[in-house]
Structure 1
Amino acid sequence: MGLTSVGIGSGMDISGIVTALVNAESAGKTARFDVTEGKLNAQISGIGTLKSTMSEFKDKLATLAKAETFASQKVSTSSKEYLSATVDKDAVSGSYLIKVEQLAQSQKKGTAVAADATSAVGEGTLTIGVGTGTPFNINVSDTDSLTSIMDKINGSASNTDVTATIVSGELGPQLVLGSKKTGEDNLISVTAVNTGAGTGLSDVFTMSELTPAKNAIAHIDGVKVVSQTNEMKTAITGVSLTLTAADLAKTTTVSVTKDTGKTKSAIEDFVKSYNSMMTSINDLTGYNAETKKSGVMQGDALPRSIQSQVRSILSSSFSTSSGSDSLASFGIKTTREGLLEIDAKKLTESIDTRGADITSLFTTENTGLATKMSEMLDSYVKTGGIIDSRDTSLDEQVSRIQDSRVALNLRMASYSERLYKQYNAMDSVVASLNSQSSNLTARLNSLPGLVRKS
């Protein structure tokens, strides 16, 4: 690049001059790039905020679109000692008096007592089954003991119904089989077939019952209910009981009531999320007089369009079992600022007395508030939706600016190189002229009779 600092011939700061000229040429363009890119990044951030708050609001709507949010029940028990209970949407409000007579129990059977758990018991085949399940076979070699047979039973891929263990009592060890299923329908069967000499295997596997199988028995409002397990899921419509202890002399009261708190909480979450979304849109598009700053999306038609559509849906009337209703009918009103507020007393009364109407308003398929609002929001926030398209467009604009920066840097590098060549060429000419001047001055000074200036 030649001379790049103070010019030898001219005494000029060539590097400083070139830098100043290059900066003067590029500064305006770089500043415009910075301003434009800053605005685009702010808009990208705003789009992200908008999508996030809309998605959160849409999630709250998903809860309000479910009928069980409004028709849900809750259950309580007078005591947790004998049973627990859960309910689903089909449960009917009421009280039930329950006495637990007997818990379900699985059967256990034991082999004959062996001399010890590690001695061979005889060669053959064991066929083991539980209730109506598919039996499985265990091949016993002439070296197998109770311990190894136990391992084969527990390790069999075909065994899903029994567990085997060895219990060493006062008379000696026994192999004990226990059913994994409770109830009188799940009895254990064992058939031993000898294939070697003697009858050792069949003699040992002469099974005796150690623990009988039992069904669970409960009395619900005087009605006897029998179950193979301690789970009674169909005894009371919509109520599942889990029996934990038995005492026929003790009564547990199970009470099923409407869960109005769940409905109210879902509506409160909906209002809170709506207000948060609308506040975010206002912040993105408005002007703050205190800070004297405009929102990053001020003048953008997208957020204003969303805001307008949401308000239009909320102010609509919806068909219910009692006719045409609006949110205001149930104590959910719009403020002057365009936000929602709840009249808690009116909402509670509406949930208690007009449950079917408020359910219809929110949950009716295709025409309910939650469904219509969700569909509208989904067109914006779904993958590949309107907001994603806007975000992609902004990203592309930022990318083009970055490409322009690269192109500008290349042009400025070429411009800088050209300037250095020009100034260095000038410096060489000045250096040559200075040299000639010095030589001429020296020769003139050497002429006879010339009087030098001091």
Structure 2
Amino acid sequence: MGLTSVGIGSGMDIAGIVTALVNAESAGKIASFDTTEGKLNAQISGIGLLKSSLSEFQDQLELLTKSETFDSHKVSQSNSDYFKATVDENAVPGKYQVIVEQLAQSQKVGSAAVADADSPIGEGSLTIGVGSDSFDIEVGAEDSLTDIMDKINASEDNYGVTATIINGDDGPQLILGAKNTGTDNLITVTATDIDGGTGLADTFTMTELTPAQDAVLTVDGVKVTSSSNDVSDIITGVSLELTDADIGKTTTITVEEDTAKATSAITGFVDSYNALMTTIQDLSRYDAATENGAILQGDPLPRSLQSQLRNIISSSFETSSGSGSQMLMNIGITTTREGLLEIDEDKLSDAIEADKGGIKEMFITEDTGLASRLDTFVESYLEPGGIIDGRNDTIDNQLSRLEDSREALNLKMSAYSDRLYKQFNAMDLVVASLNSQSSSLFNALDSMPGVVKKT
């Protein structure tokens, strides 16, 4: 770059002049770059907002693709003193009379009492059985009752018993309790002494402390026995968690269709659809009064999305129920002039009561159901490498090209600045030379004979 000081010969501010000329040359292009960059960044922001709204809409769609949303039931019981009842989608509406006669319980057996829980018992082995399973414990010559308890609990083959020590009036006893209830989980203990004594065999002559028993109940007069207090295979789709027993008390279970979950899911779908459409409208609207457009006004992305969503929403869907084809308008969901959905709650409630199966098919049928089609469509926008990713890549490329243009302009302006400095510096040298010649001429004239200076 040339001289950047005030011109020596001309006295001109060459640096200021060059800077002003360079700025004048580049200002329009820089302003254009800034405007374009601002628009592109605004588009990225708008597309990000659109993607977020689409994702929330897809999350809400998930509920409408699940059978349990439409097949749910609710259960009530006349009292909750003896069990807690729950239901799944296979439950059959009706009333059931249940009497809990006896709860299931696990067996507990105890060893003989010893004088000291930390004194050796005798060398040998124990074979402990629980139901049809068994495992062995090797007892060393120095092992005490406490050591044996620890070995039982730590055994990798022990799936069925828990060992503990209770210090009773007669002395410490090892107590074995079955982990599972019912008569299928009886405990057996076989002790073998190998040191010639009988300490281990005598100590592990077990006494039953708590008998194993099965749960006993009657359902609509039918007697049922269960090894567990969690009973799930008696009434179709109904599970009972037994908590108490009284042969003289009857509890009535009432199973009914539950439309609340389906209604809630459909209402949530309408709300999320309206939120999505409002976002699209806000991003693409044009205000004629102010002549200002939104971030994505005129952009084909939101227009295409909006159009295809409306087409799917207004479609009819074939069902195998008596109602034949179904549309949202048939169940009380219509489109407003603004392109949003509104619900006639009474009509929706009546439709679900009358044909929940048909409505279920309309939403969840794979590939052809409303929720399934919408989910597939939205996924084409959200999936990695999908429409939105493609659009973001396009904008990123535009920003990259814009940055290249900025760098090219900087190089061009740098060259232009160098050229200007050279030109102005050359001019400054010429002016300096002319000034020097002028000064010499005046000095020569002043020194000529007969020349009188004016004062």
- Call closer, same or farther: CA 1:234–1:289 in 2, change over 3 Å: farther
Matches of 1:108 and 1:435, distance apart in 2: 123
1:319 equivalent to 2:318? Answer: yes
1:245 equivalent to 2:244? Answer: yes
- Aligned positions of 1:202-221 closer than 5 A: 202-221=201-220
- Call closer, same or farther: CA 1:449–1:352 in 2, change over 3 Å: same
Residue segments in structure 1 that go unaligned for 5+ positions in a row: none
1:300 equivalent to 2:299? Answer: yes
Matches of 2:447 and 2:129, distance apart in 1: 132
1:22 equivalent to 2:35? Answer: no
Displacement of 1:439 after TM fit? 5.3
- Call closer, same or farther: CA 1:441–1:270 in 2, change over 3 Å: same
- Aligned positions of 1:341-420 closer than 5 A: 341-420=342-421
Tell me whether 418-427 or 387-396 shows the greater mean CA deviation.
418-427
Matches of 1:453 and 1:143, distance apart in 2: 137
Question: Deviation string for 1:120-172 (max 9, x for gaps)?
Answer: 11112222231123x22222211111112222222222222222111111111
- Call closer, same or farther: CA 1:73–1:9 in 2, change over 3 Å: same
Question: Deviation string for 1:274-332 (max 9, x for gaps)?
Answer: 11111222222221346543122222222222222222222222223222332111111
Contact 2:331 2:347 in 1 (8 A): yes
Matches of 2:318 and 2:421, distance apart in 1: 80
Matches of 1:127 and 1:445, distance apart in 2: 137
- Paired letter, 1:382: E
- Call closer, same or farther: CA 1:185–1:2 in 2, change over 3 Å: same
Displacement of 1:354 after TM fit? 2.0
Structure 1 segments (4+ residues) deviating >6 Å: none
TM-score, with structure 1 as normaliser: 0.93
- Paired letter, 2:416: Y
- Call closer, same or farther: CA 1:125–1:424 in 2, change over 3 Å: farther
Matches of 2:72 and 2:237, distance apart in 1: 11
Matches of 1:242 and 1:142, distance apart in 2: 46
- Call closer, same or farther: CA 1:435–1:88 in 2, change over 3 Å: same
Which residue in 1 is equivalent to 2:56?
A: 56
- Call closer, same or farther: CA 1:402–1:354 in 2, change over 3 Å: same
1:146 equivalent to 2:115? Answer: no
Matches of 1:338 and 1:48, distance apart in 2: 22
SS of structure 1 residue aligned to 2:318: strand
SS of structure 2 residue aligned to 1:254: strand
Displacement of 1:336 after TM fit? 1.7
- Aligned positions of 1:130-209 closer than 5 A: 130-133=130-133, 135-209=134-208
Displacement of 1:448 after TM fit? 6.2
Displacement of 1:65 after TM fit? 2.3
Tell me whether 45-54 or 176-185 shows the greater mean CA deviation.
45-54
SS of structure 2 residue aligned to 1:324: coil
Displacement of 1:259 after TM fit? 0.9
- Call closer, same or farther: CA 1:9–1:81 in 2, change over 3 Å: farther
Aligned length: 453
SS of structure 2 residue aligned to 1:185: helix
Tell me whether 259-268 or 352-361 shows the greater mean CA deviation.
352-361
Which residue in 2 is equivalent to 1:328?
A: 329
Matches of 1:115 and 1:446, distance apart in 2: 142
Displacement of 1:183 after TM fit? 1.2
- Paired letter, 2:400: S
Which residue in 1 is equivalent to 2:341?
A: 340
1:109 equivalent to 2:121? Answer: no
TM-score, with structure 2 as normaliser: 0.92
Displacement of 1:262 after TM fit? 1.0
SS of structure 2 residue aligned to 1:92: coil
Question: Deviation string for 1:161-193 (max 9, x for gaps)?
Answer: 222111111111111122211111011222222
Which residue in 1 is equivalent to 2:10?
A: 10
Residue segments in structure 2 that go unaligned for 5+ positions in a row: none
- Call closer, same or farther: CA 1:2–1:208 in 2, change over 3 Å: same
